[in-house]
Structure 1
Amino acid sequence: MTRLTTSEFLIGILAIGYFAIVQPVPAVAQSIDETASVCAGCHGDKGVPIDKTIPNIWGQNRLYLLNQLHDFKVGHRKNEQMAPIVEPLSKTDIEALATYFSKKPWPDLQQPAASDDVKAKARAVLDSLNCRGCHQEHYQGDTARPRLAGQQDEYLTKTMTDFHAGDRKTYMGMVALMKSIDEADIKALGAYLAGFKIPGHP
C-alpha cells in the first residue's frame, strides 16, 4: 500500500472540495423557476395575467397562496387549468411556489379608480360587512387572507359571485357574507377594490 505524504494528502482533500463546489447540483430554486414558468402561461411572466378573470399572484400573501394551492391539490377548489398543474406537486414544491410568488413585486394592473358614486356604494357595503376586520385597513390582507386592493376587477367580481351563488365553499364565512348582498353590490365592490391604492405601494 502506497503511503501518501502530507502534502499529497492535502492536495487530494483540496481537489475533492473543489470538485464538490464546481460540479452542478440540482437546485430547488431552478426547479421552482421551471414550475413558475408554467404558471406564467396564465398568470403572466411579468405578473400581469393574460385574462381579467385570472388573479394576479405576484406579491400575494404567502399563506394565502399556500392554502389555495393546497385546496386545488386536494380538490377543495375545482379548476380545469389548475388541476393538472398542482397534481404532481409535492408539499415542498407548493411551499416553495408560495414563497416564490409572495416575494415578487405586486404589478400595476393599471386599473382606474372607481367613480364617486361607485366608491360611496362600495364603502357602505364594505363597512356593513366589516371587510377590514379580515382584509385589514387598506385591503392588503394578512398572513392568511388575500390582498384585494389592486386585484383584477373581473376576478374579484367572479370570486364574490361564486361565493354568493354557493359555487365556491372554501370559506363558509365568505359564502354567508356574499349571500347577504346583491349582484349590484358585488359589481361595485369589484370596481372599487380593483382601483384601490395602498398608500406607498403599487
Structure 2
Amino acid sequence: MGAILAVMAGFPVCAQSLQERVPTCFECHGEKGQSQLPEVPSLGAQPALYTLVELVMFRDKLRLTEPMNQQTVGLSDGDLRALSDMIAKLPAPEPISDTPDPARMDRGRALAQANRCNFCHQSNYQGVENVPRLAGQREDYLLKSLRAYKDNTRRGYDAQMSEVVYAMKDDDLVDLAYFLARLK
C-alpha cells in the first residue's frame, strides 16, 4: 500500500471518494499495479489516456464488467483523470519468470508480426496514448481479452481488435498471449 500512497502524494488532492476507493482498486490489481489474481489485468505503466478511456467506459456502463462499473460510480472526469495519471506512473509489470518455450515464443512473435500488433501497440508492446501496454500483461487476461474481441463480446471504442483477431484460430490466440506475457 505504501507504493500507492507515495505515488498519490504527488497528485493534487482528489475527491475523497477517489482516495477511499484507490486501496480497493489495488486489492485486485496489485499494490504496484501488478495483478496476482486470475484474469485481472495488471495496470502498472498503462498509458494514462488508455486507462482514462477505459475508466470512463466502466463508469458510463459502455463496458460492462463488475466490479469496475460499481467502483467508478460517482467519480468525476477529474477523479478518473487523476487515477489514470497515477496508474501510468506505477512500475511496469514484471513478465512471467518461467523459462519460455522457444518454439511458442517464436510462434507468438510471428503472429504478432503477421498481424502487425506493433503498428498500434508500438515495437516494444509498451502501448501509447489510447492503446494499451501488452508487454508483461497477465497471460490469462490477454487470452481472455483476445477471445472476447474474437467473439465480439468485448466492445470498445475501436472495432479494429475484433477485425485483427477474427480469422485467428484459438491456438494462435494462446501463443500470442504466451509471447506477450513474457515480454519486458
Which TM-score tier does this pair reach, normalised by the shorter chain? 0.7 to 0.9
Query: What is the CA distance between 1:34 and its match in structure 2?
Result: 2.8
Provide the residue aligned with 2:161 in structure 1. Answer: 174
Task: Return 5+ residue gaps in structure 2 as ranges.
Answer: 1-11
Question: SS where residue 130 of structure 2 aligns?
Answer: coil
On the 8 A contact 1:58/1:102 being kept in 2, the answer is yes
Letter in 1 for 2:154: R
The separation in 2 between residues aligned to 1:113 and 1:168, in whole angstroms, is 31
The separation in 1 between residues aligned to 2:114 and 2:180, in whole angstroms, is 16
Q: Determine which structure has more spread, i.e. the larger CA radius of gyration.
A: 1
Letter in 2 for 1:187: V
- Residues 54-133 of structure 1: pairs in structure 2 closer than 5 A: 54-108=40-94, 110-112=96-98, 114-133=100-119
What is the CA deviation profile of residues 99-158 of structure 1, one whole-angstrom value per residue up to 9, with x for unaligned ones?
111111123254435311111211221111111110111111111111100000100000
On the 8 A contact 2:46/2:132 being kept in 1, the answer is yes
Letter in 2 for 1:45: E
Letter in 2 for 1:78: L
On the 8 A contact 1:150/1:196 being kept in 2, the answer is yes
Is 1:196 matched up with 2:180? no
How many residue pairs get aligned? The number is 172
TM-score scaled by length of structure 1: 0.79
On the 8 A contact 1:59/1:101 being kept in 2, the answer is yes
Going from structure 1 to structure 2, the CA distance change for 1:63 and 1:80 (only over 3 Å counts) comes to: same
On the 8 A contact 1:55/1:152 being kept in 2, the answer is yes
Provide the residue aligned with 1:183 in structure 2. Answer: 170
The separation in 1 between residues aligned to 2:19 and 2:176, in whole angstroms, is 34
- Residues 27-38 of structure 1: pairs in structure 2 closer than 5 A: 27-28=13-14, 32-38=18-24
**Runs of 4+ deviating beyond 4 Å:** 29-32
Provide the residue aligned with 1:143 in structure 2. Answer: 129
On the 8 A contact 1:113/1:195 being kept in 2, the answer is no
Going from structure 1 to structure 2, the CA distance change for 1:176 and 1:157 (only over 3 Å counts) comes to: same
How large is the RMSD of aligned CA atoms in angstroms?
Answer: 1.8
Query: Share of identical aligned residues, percent?
Result: 31
Query: What is the CA distance between 1:29 and its match in structure 2?
Result: 7.8
The separation in 2 between residues aligned to 1:125 and 1:146, in whole angstroms, is 18
Going from structure 1 to structure 2, the CA distance change for 1:74 and 1:32 (only over 3 Å counts) comes to: closer
TM-score scaled by length of structure 2: 0.86
Task: Return 5+ residue gaps in structure 1 as ranges.
Answer: 1-25, 198-202
